[in-house]
Amino acid sequence: MKVGDKRKFVARVGTALGFLCGLIGLLAGLTGHSWKLGSIGWFTGGGLLVLIALIILVDGAIAYQRAQTP
């Protein structure tokens, strides 16, 4: 297994889940639904998931670059 493959997979899954949570929050806010977390909670949670996934992706890229240098 290459260096960073697992991190890339986790980052992609996290980004997809974050996008889905943000989309749920956006749709809940536009349609006026009131859920337990509310539209702001879903949207903020999705944004946080995407931010964490981006940090993991950058960490994987740095680890890959370090593995390539002799």
Structural domain boundaries in the chain? 5-68
Residue 1: predicted pLDDT: 58
Give CA separation, 39 vs 9, 18, 43, 44, 58, in Å: 28, 14, 6, 8, 29
Average pLDDT, 10 consecutive residues per value, the chain (70 residues)? 70 84 81 72 81 84 79
Give CA separation, 70 vs 58, 60, 65, in Å: 20, 18, 10
Residue 66: predicted pLDDT: 84
